[in-house]
Structure 1
Amino acid sequence: MLLLPALASQAQTDQLKPVETSQKFGNYTVHFSTFNSTFISPEIAQIYGLTRASNQTLINISLTQTVDGKTTLGLPARVSGTATNLIQQQRTLEFKTIAEGDATYYLAPLRHTNEEVINFAVQVQAETESAPFTVRFTRNLHTEE
């Protein structure tokens, strides 16, 4: 798996309190994180058609399911969402599907200014569910220098 190690290392931001990175919905769990796109190597960015820029964050979403004590890797799902800044400017997130072996996850790019606070609302619908799960989270995004 080429990209997952970079994602795992960014599960927490530089905030002082622990940052929520998942939310449970019955036996499903939606995992979410953000990380600066420069954390991905140029080679990996090229393979997946991702743009690397110091002012661009990637929003990472994955859906797992736990049945009989066993948790799946990321499952296929329909993912959509929005990003809203503090002055209520809203942007639609365009998620790209990343499939690596048995794991599927979703990445959406977002350009931002340094220390911009963004409120995310993401809908994740499992293939076997009739309604989406909605997660809401806030991140203070930083540019990389």
Structure 2
Amino acid sequence: MKAKVRFIMKKIKLSYMALIALVISCLSFSAFAEQKQTLGDWDVHYIVFSTPFLTPEVAASYGIVRSKFNALVNISVLDKTSGKAQRVDVSGTAKNLLGNSRKLTFKKVEDGDAIYYLAALPFRDQETFRFEIDVQKGADKQTLKFQQKMYVDE
């Protein structure tokens, strides 16, 4: 009887640990979830994440250096009515809380109907950045502003 109780307790403990691992992985995923702001006639989607999340093959194909101290800023601009990807000019800066500013140089990537604008950003663990990203098409110019804290994934 005691052996059966121990077996059940061990099984419950393993299930509990699996549940905790699932919750932690969901929380980690939500920290990197894509975000969106509607600016004028556009839906501007943005995400900033550490480059080791890219496979070596993907990073190499786009000329991105994988490092736990490098982030990738990914912007996509869609027409808010049609949802069609927009060819725009994207530029911007990332300023840390000490006021040090880094210019972001975006590279346009077209993949089928999708268009992405990618920029590398070096960072230190737990460094917070305030981003100002200008999106322009002809005379229409909008500015995306957001803040994000970066973490080094050991």
Distance 1:94 1:11, change over 3 A: farther
Distance 1:135 1:66 in 2: 15
Which residue is 1:96 aligned to? 107
Cα deviation for residue 25 of structure 1 reads 2.3
Distance 2:48 2:34 in 1: 11
Q: After the TM superposition, list the runs of 4 or more consecutive aligned residues in structure 1 that deviate by more than 4 angstroms.
A: none
Distance 1:25 1:11, change over 3 A: farther
Which residue is 2:31 aligned to? 13
Counterpart contact for 2:38–2:80, Cα < 8 Å: no
Cα deviation for residue 12 of structure 1 reads 3.8
Q: How does 1:1-145 map to 2 (within 5 A)?
A: 12-13=30-31, 21-67=35-81, 70-72=82-84, 74-126=85-137, 129-145=138-154
Distance 1:11 1:125 in 2: 31
Counterpart contact for 2:90–2:136, Cα < 8 Å: yes
Aligned length, in residue pairs: 127
Distance 1:35 1:20, change over 3 A: closer
- Stretches of structure 1 lacking an aligned partner (at least 5 in a row): 1-9
Distance 1:136 1:11 in 2: 22
- TM-score computed with the length of structure 1 as normaliser: 0.80
Q: Which amino acid aligns with 1:76?
A: R
Distance 1:38 1:63 in 2: 25
- Stretches of structure 2 lacking an aligned partner (at least 5 in a row): 1-27
Larger radius of gyration: 2
Q: Deviations over 1:38-91 (max 9, x none)?
A: 111000111111111001110111100133xx322x321100000001110001
Cα deviation for residue 20 of structure 1 reads 8.1
Identity of matched residues, %: 34
Q: Which has the higher contact order (CA 8 A, sep 6+)?
A: 1
Distance 1:82 1:97, change over 3 A: same
Corresponding residue SS for 1:49: coil
- TM-score computed with the length of structure 2 as normaliser: 0.76
